[in-house]
Homo-oligomer: A and B are copies of this chain.
């Protein structure tokens, strides 16, 4: 039964299994882009490999190819000029159907072994992938490397570990002997076969094609499903490289590479809908807008649908021992990747009568000002600022900044910076606007981008009430609280558990509310409208396969 790739990666898998059980710090893929870790020349070779991909057809043969597609424009202002095969869906599905039987039969150890081999090979292409992530998402290079490569690979490994943890608990067979009093017992042998669901569709997003795409992709692959990857039209390359690696590994392991395929398409066409409604598609992993996610949940009823959608992330400021630390930490969360993260904070609730701090009582305006200064200090040096901000991913972000500016008094205006290397890039700093608690029609929706509202409330009790309601009704992936009062912390924990949102308490150092660590932090809970699943837990994997048994009498 065992598979050589399973044996090869068993030590890695065992470490990952220990990590998901303990949930302390662990990482399989080093986040440091240092030559000491990834080897001398790895950075340069990765850059060269990326450059070699530009302005030509991407090297991938897919069944049913009919012409090409692809018009990715780097948020840094460079058209990538890469074309991808455009596939005919009927021919694609026919080819996948031919590939499936041998893959289904190969069994859990082959699925998991192949998935692990793919991940470790992807890791070797991290520098190339980092440039691909940078020039499709607009993330700065170091973030593209860390979040887009090792962190995403860790998330993929975590999904494989959860999958295996479920798969391994189903025995391949059992001997069943039922006593019959004085008569001979009944004796049966039972065989339990793991059967994948069918075809899994991964719908990628523009901002985190790998980090958000890998959990579903590897969870489905490790449970025996064929996977179709449908990238966002402006973030194809990172997933194309991923699919390329997967197909190489599959072919080398003697499987039909069409177990993993890529469907690139043009922006605005109906490829996503067509794919989602195919009867063969039994699993869908989606990251994107609430409208599209809800459309899938409602319409793709032949499939198990896992969605991560929009939400309203919030910070409750009650009191602070170290307001400068608060401001520094919040500023980074607002600025990182121009706030274009599903986990970035938006609403910051502060009592209108001000808060107690180690430096004494501060008024609402002083707190708002401190937050603004935190951002200014963080981004004071434009050369350093662009390495935090990255580039604006699309015009919608810039439009929302302008619209948000009109909502209330501006505490800190958004600045336009010039990128020293990429003059075409749009770089924007965070906007902070003051609102009143009663303005909930303004702030109780997602303003994706570097937009923060400092909201005056009657006090922390009201702040928590609003936070609870917002998370329950509009969804939230993160909630943060700052307080020196244990009672307030306890109340915030109760609100978080009621609203199903992860809570970060008094972050003033180098951990940020919008960061979620594989093997330790559950990303999303599935318990509020921002996501119907968590990355990753047992529920995320257990329904990607079924068990089919057969039984017969035996004499022994």
Contact = CB atoms under 8 A, between A and B. Distances in A.
Interface stretch (A203-211, A395-403, A520-528): A520-528
A90 interface: no
A20 to B, nearest CB: 8
Does more than half of chain A's interface fall in helix, strand or loop, or is it mixed?
mixed
A144 to B, nearest CB: 20
Interface residues of A, number: 65
B550 A174 contact: no
Interface string A473-504: 00000000000000000001100110011111
Contacts of A542: 537-539, 542-543
A552 B174 contact: no
Contacts of A186: 509-511
A422 interface: no
A192 B500 CA distance: 12
Nearest to A502: B549
B551 A503 contact: yes
A171 B21 contact: yes
A108 B544 CA distance: 25
Contacts of A24: 174-177
Contacts of A506: 552-553
A23 B510 CA distance: 48
A190 interface: yes
A180 B509 CA distance: 12
Among A170, A193, A297, A527, which residue has the most Cβ atoms of chain B within 10 A? Answer: A527
A466 interface: no
Interface string A162-202: 00011001110011111110000010101111010100000
Interface of A: 21-25, 165-166, 169-171, 174-180, 186, 188, 190-193, 195, 197, 297-298, 301, 492-493, 496-497, 500-511, 517, 520-522, 525-527, 534, 537-539, 542-543, 546-553
